Amino acid sequence: MGRARKIIKNVIEHTRGMVRNRGVEAPEWLEMVNRFPPPAMPRTDYDKLPKLEFPQDRLAELYARKSTFPTDDETAYEFADEQLTLIELGVPEKKAFEMLMEKYQAVEGDRFLQKYYQVRGEEFIPSTKVHEMVDRWAAQEAKAIKEGMRLEFEDAQEIAALEKEYIREE
């Protein structure tokens, strides 16, 4: 009863054993299978293929994890390439990381500002003076708020005029 529940993987070997032990008569196809055996079953006991990983992958992941800015892959891999170059020149990994972190904080800040200005449809003007940049942002925000208030006022006047027209028609 237990044997019936097991799945027999190789039917040909099982049939040969049954014929050899005279449990069944030899089927017609067994002679042809003996002459021209089927190809060997592919192996399934292989281990998983190793994941290919380059040194830059580990360094880029480390940079993305430790960076204070949200980083994109491009910046992380640029950082990793430069760090790997320094490591190959003999600089210890931690020292190379610290040296490049100082440089890339400015790079990340500029990239953030470039994207910020690009979204707003304005040209990015890099500035080393933070207070100038803050003043420029404040002026732009004030201008945007005034423009929004003006548009809102014009819309309100237009709606009021349409309501008066509608009331007159009734």
pLDDT tens, residue by residue, 71-123: 778 888 988 999 999 999 999 999 999 888 888 877 777 777 777 778 878 77
pLDDT mean over 38-44: 76
Between 7 and 167, residue with greater pLDDT: 167
Q: Is the confidence at residue 5, as pLDDT, over 80?
A: no
| Nearest Cα to Cα of residue 14 among 1, 2, 30 | 30
| Nearest Cα to Cα of residue 78 among 98, 114, 103, 113 | 103
- Angstrom distance (rounded) from CA 84 to CA 78: 10
62: Cβ–Cβ under 8 A, 6 or more apart, which residues?
Answer: 97
Q: Give pLDDT, residue 93.
A: 92
Instruction: Report the C-alpha dihedral over residues 155, 141, 118, 135, rounded to 10 degrees.
Output: 160
Residue for token pair 């292989």: 46
Sorted by where each begins, the domain ranges of the chain are 7-43, 55-120, 127-170
pLDDT mean over 146-151: 94
